[in-house]
């Protein structure tokens, strides 16, 4: 066992440093070796259990490799989590000094998951626990109320959502229900949850095929939330770590620490539920470990694959409270509204003939059709978009999508792909 090497090394080290001391070995918090904690928890700090923290000494430990993570903190790149060996020093209220020998390491090749153990004198376990708590508080992302979105795991640190609620074209009733759900939670819901002694954390899932406007809805809700002086935390799978449990955990910590009502956006929730982390994510959604922000937090998650979301989530209200299906274009009225929106001042009443072809398509289809027709008209130096150009654009995109579907079906027939087709459009900000 890999961790035995850590423990054996730590025991030898402890025996040499403080031979008379009796230690117990415990699983420890990986946050004690996080560089942010090492820097922020200063020697001389009083701990809750009336002891004092006297600083640390980094130890040379040949059985581990020292690797650090880095990330942005207060807009600067800094070292964050890291493996390492340390002697943490403490003094008790009756002036007894003691050390804790601590080792954190990456034990598996494929997971960037730290494991930490500590040798602690048994009578001082409470002092150690107070120190661990202080370290994890130091590491927890701190959110100030700001006028943009706090992104966890994305390639940019912040972004400003620009989608307006009125830009999203969907059946009015659906939009209203969703809006009322969000608003009634923040206005009355939080109080009701608390009266019932429930953690005020509500979870909503937006499900639908690609391109129906789920990301747009999230961006519009984010913009609205900011206008209401709420905090928005957005979990992104776009950095090199992809969709990991660790990100959800960091987001939940940020939400719990936010002292304001918070909207948490988790795009493509299904991706987080595919790997080994599924059980852990189910647990945090379950309520016991869900973020307890007294001001209330609402999670909006999206998915193209509701079937990939575990039954244990969808079948039991409480894990996900509401599921809204975001549909493709339902009827002529919606198709016309969408086409008018994307044609803008180039709209012409003759365009109504293409409307039946837009039914059952996602909004992204209409956007692309309109964009292409407008671009071609501009390219041909035409001042107006003709019906002919628009029809051509509808036909070519329909043809392209059919060809793409056939191609994927063929590939599946040959056993070349076992993934569902996925048209990826990057970005939260359409």
Ligand X SMILES: Nc1ncnc2c1ncn2[C@@H]1O[C@H](COP(=O)(O)OP(=O)(O)OP(=O)(O)O)[C@@H](O)[C@H]1O
Min separation Cβ 37 and ligand X, Å: 36
Min separation Cβ 251 and ligand X, Å: 19
Min separation Cβ 371 and ligand X, Å: 9
From the list 153, 161, 200, 211, which residue makes contact with ligand X (rule: CB under 6 A)? 211
CA angle 224, 338, 330 (to 5 degrees): 100
SS3 108: coil
Within positions 319 to 338, which residues make up the interface with ligand X, using CB under 6 A? Answer: 338
Decide whether 216 or 226 has the Cβ nearer to ligand X: 216
Q: How far apart are the first and last CA of the chain?
A: 49
From the list 34, 83, 104, 215, which residue makes contact with ligand X (rule: CB under 6 A)? 215
Within positions 350 to 409, which residues make up the interface with ligand X, using CB under 6 A? Answer: 362-364, 367
Instruction: Report d(CA 16, CA 8) in Å as an integer.
Output: 13
From the list 83, 215, 293, 361, which residue makes contact with Mg ion (rule: CB under 5 A)? 215
- Candidates 157, 155, 154, 136; CA nearest to 146 is 157
Q: In Å, how far are 33, 104, 140, 232 from 86, measured between CA atoms?
A: 8, 9, 21, 37
Across 130-142, b (16+ Cβ under 10 Å) vs e yields bbbebbbebbbbe
Question: Which residue(s) pair with 89 in the sheet?
Answer: 55, 99
Largest CA distance in the chain: 92
Instruction: Report d(CA 92, CA 114) in Å as an integer.
Output: 29
SS3 86: strand
Q: Among 93-101, 178-186, 212-220, 334-342, which window interacts with Mg ion (CB under 5 A)?
A: 212-220
320 binds, among Mg ion, ligand X, none (CB under 5 to 8 A by kind): none
> In this structure, which long-range contacts are made by residues 172-177, counting pairs with CB atoms below 8 Å and at least 24 apart in sequence?
174/324, 174/326, 174/327, 177/324
Q: Does 216 bind ligand X (CB under 6 A)?
A: yes
Q: Does 161 bind ligand X (CB under 6 A)?
A: no
Decide whether 213 or 261 has the Cβ nearer to ligand X: 213
Q: Which residue matches tokens 């795009």?
A: 267
Decide whether 28 or 273 has the Cβ nearer to ligand X: 273
Q: Does 34 bind ligand X (CB under 6 A)?
A: no
# binding residues, Mg ion (CB under 5 A) = 2
From the list 55, 189, 210, 287, which residue makes contact with ligand X (rule: CB under 6 A)? 210
Min separation Cβ 409 and ligand X, Å: 19
Q: In Å, how far are 128, 151, 308 from 120, measured between CA atoms?
A: 7, 37, 44
From the list 82, 84, 153, 213, which residue makes contact with ligand X (rule: CB under 6 A)? 213
# binding residues, ligand X (CB under 6 A) = 19
- Rounded-to-10 torsion of CA 13, 17, 19, 23: -60
CA angle 260, 270, 225 (to 5 degrees): 25
Residue 335 Rama label (left phi>0; alpha psi -120 to 50; beta): alpha
Min separation Cβ 175 and Mg ion, Å: 17
Min separation Cβ 420 and ligand X, Å: 12
Q: How many CB atoms lie within 10 A of CB 153?
A: 21
Decide whether 190 or 338 has the Cβ nearer to ligand X: 338
Min separation Cβ 169 and Mg ion, Å: 16
From the list 33, 212, 236, 262, which residue makes contact with ligand X (rule: CB under 6 A)? 212
Q: Among 158-166, 215-223, 381-389, 405-413, which window interacts with Mg ion (CB under 5 A)?
A: 215-223
- Which positions lie near Mg ion, rule CB under 5 A? 214-215
- Which positions lie near ligand X, rule CB under 6 A? 168-170, 208, 210-216, 304, 338, 362-364, 367, 425, 430
């Amino acid at each position: 066992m890999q961790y035995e090497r850590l423990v054996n090394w730590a025991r030898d080290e402890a025996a040499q440093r403080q031979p008379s001391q009796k230690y117990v070995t415990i699983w420890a918090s990986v946050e004690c070796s996080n560089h942010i904690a090492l820097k922020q928890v200063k020697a001389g700090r009083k701990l809750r259990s009336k002891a004092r923290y006297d600083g640390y000494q980094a130890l040379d430990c040949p059985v581990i490799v020292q690797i650090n993570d880095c990330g942005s903190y207060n807009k600067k790149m800094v070292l964050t989590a890291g493996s390492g060996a340390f002697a943490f020093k403490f003094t008790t209220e009756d002036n007894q000094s003691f050390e804790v020998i601590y080792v954190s390491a990456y034990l598996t090749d494929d997971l960037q998951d730290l494991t930490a153990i500590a040798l602690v004198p048994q009578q001082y376990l409470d002092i150690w626990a107070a120190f661990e708590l202080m370290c994890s508080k130091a590491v927890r992302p701190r959110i100030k109320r700001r006028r943009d979105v706090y992104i966890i795991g994305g390639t940019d640190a912040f972004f400003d959502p620009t989608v307006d609620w009125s830009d999203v074209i969907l059946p009015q009733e659906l939009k209203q229900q969703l809006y009322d759900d969000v608003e009634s939670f923040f206005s009355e819901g939080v109080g009701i949850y608390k009266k019932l002694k429930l953690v005020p954390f509500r979870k909503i899932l937006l499900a639908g095929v690609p391109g129906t406007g789920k990301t747009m809805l999230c961006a519009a809700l984010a913009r609205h939330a900011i206008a209401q002086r709420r905090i928005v935390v957005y979990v992104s799978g776009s950095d090199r770590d992809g969709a990991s449990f660790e990100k959800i955990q960091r987001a939940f910590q940020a939400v719990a620490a936010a002292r304001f009502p918070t909207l948490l956006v988790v795009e493509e929730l299904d991706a987080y539920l595919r790997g080994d982390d599924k059980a852990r994510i189910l647990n945090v959604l379950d309520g016991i470990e869900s973020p307890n922000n007294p001001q209330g937090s609402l999670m909006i998650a999206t998915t193209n694959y509701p079937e990939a979301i575990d039954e244990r989530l969808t079948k039991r209200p409480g894990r996900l409270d509401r599921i809204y299906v975001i549909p493709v274009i339902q009827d002529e009225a919606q198709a016309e509204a969408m086409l008018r929106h994307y044609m803008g001042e180039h709209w012409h009443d003759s365009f109504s003939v293409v409307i039946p072809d837009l039914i059952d398509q996602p909004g992204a289809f209409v956007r692309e059709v309109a964009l292409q027709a407008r671009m071609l008209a501009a390219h041909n130096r035409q001042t107006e978009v003709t019906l002919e150009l628009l029809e051509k654009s509808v036909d070519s995109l329909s043809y392209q999508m059919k060809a793409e579907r056939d191609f994927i079906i063929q590939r599946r027939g040959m056993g070349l792909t076992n993934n569902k087709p996925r048209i990826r459009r990057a970005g939260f900000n359409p």
